[in-house]
Amino acid sequence: MFISFEGGDGVGKTTHVFSLFQTIKKRYPVIMTREPGGCNLVKSIKQILINTHNKIDFVTESLLYAADRTEHLQQVIKPALSDNNIVICDRYLDSSFVYQGYLRKLGIKFIRQINYLAYKLLPDITFYLDLEPEIILKRLYDRSKSKLEGFDAQKLSWHQQIRDGYLKLCHLYPKRIFKINTNNLSFEEVHIIILNKLRELFRLNI
């Protein structure tokens, strides 16, 4: 089983990935991974991508993400699934659909083409954690003791566009992407929703 988590920075994806991993590992073989930089070979690509001093072309940026994802898929995700592990991934192809396809205006079709292998292996379920951009921006500033970096440093309108992009994906892939409105929910409440959905769809004993 392949599970991914999506959403803007600051919505709580990474914390929920770890929490779900801790819950599932009590009963099933499971690995936790992330993009970009999900394996040692491509961590240098991640550093290029998050370094704001690297003013790279948007197409080049998207190709770097695709290269990172392909290596991650071949070296981590596919082997883990072949060994009957549950894979929980913090970001996957949907992030490129939103950040490069929608925000960078490169288009979904182009992103699909350069991520051909990843598009052939989509998650069984994707949890999209939805949160108001104003709350996201406040969280990002609160958690950062210094200047925000990369995508985190963008203005409110940027975070609104990210949300709009994810909402469009929810309509494109309604059977795969499960949206959770987290605005008025505690962490525990969101975690319970995630567990209940996995029990409902896959009969996991968690």
> How many residues make up the chain in this entry?
206
SS3 204: coil
The annotated binding site for ATP is made up of 7-14
Nearest C-alpha neighbor of 133 from the set 163, 169, 166:
163
Is the backbone peptide bond immediately before 36 cis, with ω within 30 degrees of 0? yes
The annotated binding site is made up of 7-14
**Nearby residues of 73 by Cβ (< 8 Å), 6 or more positions away:** 117, 118, 121
d(CA 141, CA 156): 12
- E strand spans, 50-167: 86-90, 125-130
What's the alpha-carbon Rg for the chain, to the nearest Å? 16
